[in-house]
């Protein structure tokens, strides 16, 4: 394949942030199945990525509520940085 496979790791991170999100859970199961068969998960469809990638959901109320449990961040850029910091330690 032409790319590194980080999708499963990224989905595990997304689940750690939004464990009850149906789109994230569904895609996580799909990715797990693909990787178990040693199949690739790329390319992605941007419409789907916007539903499952927490970094693209910084204005999503569910994500904002999770972040607000720990800290109050007003700007999407601040929430993105918070996520990046979490991912760096994940």
Cα angle 41, 59, 7; round to 5: 15
- Total domains in the chain come to 1
In the predicted structure, residue 41 carries a pLDDT above the cut 60:
yes
13 assigned to some structural domain: yes
What letter does residue 28 receive in the DSSP assignment? H
In the predicted structure, residue 13 carries a pLDDT above the cut 60:
yes
Tell me the average pLDDT across 45-61: 97
Confidence of residue 5 (pLDDT cuts 50, 70, 90): confident
60 assigned to some structural domain: yes
56 assigned to some structural domain: yes
Residue 7, burial from CB neighbour count under 10 angstroms (0-12, 13-18, 19+):
buried
Residue 86 to residue 82: CA distance in whole angstroms: 6
Query: DSSP H helical segments within the chain, as ranges?
Result: 7-17, 22-36, 46-52, 61-70, 76-88
34 assigned to some structural domain: yes
What mean pLDDT value characterizes the chain? 95
Q: Which of 66, 78, 72, 70 is nearest to 13 (CA)?
A: 66
Highest mean pLDDT, choosing among 5-9, 37-41, 51-55: 51-55
> Which residues form the domain of 45?
7-88
1 assigned to some structural domain: no
pLDDT score at 3 = 60
42 assigned to some structural domain: yes
């Amino acid at each position: 394949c032409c790319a590194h496979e980080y999708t499963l790791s990224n989905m595990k991170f997304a689940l750690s942030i939004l464990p009850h999100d149906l789109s994230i859970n569904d895609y996580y199961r799909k990715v797990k199945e693909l990787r178990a068969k040693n199949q690739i998960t790329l390319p992605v469809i941007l419409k789907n990525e916007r539903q499952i990638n927490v970094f693209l959901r910084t204005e999503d109320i569910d994500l904002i509520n999770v972040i607000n449990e720990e800290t109050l961040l007003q700007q999407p850029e601040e929430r993105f940085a918070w996520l990046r910091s979490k991912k760096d330690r994940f």
